[in-house]
Amino acid sequence: MHLLLRCMRGCCRRSRMPRSLRRPLSYIKLIFKSLYFNSLTNSEVVFDSMLEPVFWMVEIVTRWFGMVFVFLVVALTSSVIFIAYYCLLPLVLQTYSPGWIMWHICYGHWIIVMIAFHYYKATSTPPGYPPKMKTDVPFVSVCKKCIIPKPARSHHCGICKTCILKMDHHCPWLNNCVGHYNHRYFFSFCLFLTLGCMYCSISGRNLFIDAYNAIDHFRHMEAEKQGVPVTGIGLLIGIAPSEGVAGKVLQEVSQPPYTNKDRMFHKSIIYMWVLTSTVSVALGALTLWHALLITRGETSIERHINHKETKRLAKRGKVYRNPFSYGKLNNWKVFFGVEKRSHWLTRIFLPSGHTPYGDGLTWDIYPLKKDMMPV
């Protein structure tokens, strides 16, 4: 580092550079000096400084394309619901028993209501912001960008350009920060969307296999310009009752032509299954990760902070304890706002717009660290 600065200084002295290049060169020298100007600088600070342009570009792109991500969520979810109503529901009504019909209709509509409600609330509910005027609320630091006191668990969002109470992360799919007042909506949306995708993936597996085989068979038959047998798709389109009976009948009866409607039907089934299966795996992993954080009483940001504190205190022979964890069960009660037994149903498995505990400024919910809600 020192050799580089000496070379740069020597070049400046030997060749009198124009004034238009002196200022950028001076700025570069200042950046290099800022990397080691005090004893608190370490490799992490240098690495973060080098990645600062990348973070800046990510913030810009996320801010500009926020509404595009929201549109994609609405469009993809609506497409799956349309296919379920247009393609799957008629098959369910024609082939299933009354008990299974009732199950699919009730479960499917319940999932749709829960997904739509929690996504709307997650996107429209402000995450919570610390007061900008001077108050008596205790704070742990001062934001270097907002120049306002930061309460515990508050962090600055570079995309929203403000501090967020109990900030977890900025979600581009919501075009909103996940904080104190909409954290529950975000997690519930992820949970119920995962359950809905798993439901479509599991219940539509056989339909996907039949549709894929049908398209493959018809593609080969069209290439050979021959008749197209439908063995293997009778259960999908309701032509034949079983494979054994279908094999005998179809040998004698000529097969009608493969229309564009049939092709679109099969492609819609494949599209729905691939999309829901992919989302259920990816979003399911994210949901499990956030469930683990909720069990520990942490946010995504606090997970990294607590990990560093744990390592730092371990070197001194001490054990770090999360001050915002009230026990595994109590952490879930605080998160969902469970105050009595009926709330496990009405506030988790039914749409509920109740506000979370506290104001996001102080966190003395359980001063004695014991179960205050025996439910």
Catalytic site positions: 171
d(CA 108, CA 144): 48
Tokens representing 31 are 């950046």
Tell me which H or E stretch contains 170. Answer: strand 169-171
Residue pair 135/148 in contact (Cβ under 8 Å)? The answer is no
Exposure of 272 in the CB half-sphere (CA atoms within 13 A)? 32
Mode of pairing for the β-strands spanning 149-150 and 141-142: antiparallel
Concatenated DSSP letters of 153-177: T-EEETTTTEEETT--EEETTTTEE
Q: Is residue 151 a contact partner of residue 360, using CB atoms and an 8 Å limit? A: yes
Q: What does the block give as tokens for 277?
A: 């299966």
Which residue stretches of 297-327 are H helix?
A: 300-315
Cα distances from 344 to residues 234, 281, 337, in angstroms, run 44, 26, 9
Rounded to the nearest 5 degrees, what angle is found at the Cα of 310, between the Cα atoms of 44 and 291?
100
Please give the single-letter amino acid code of residue 82: F
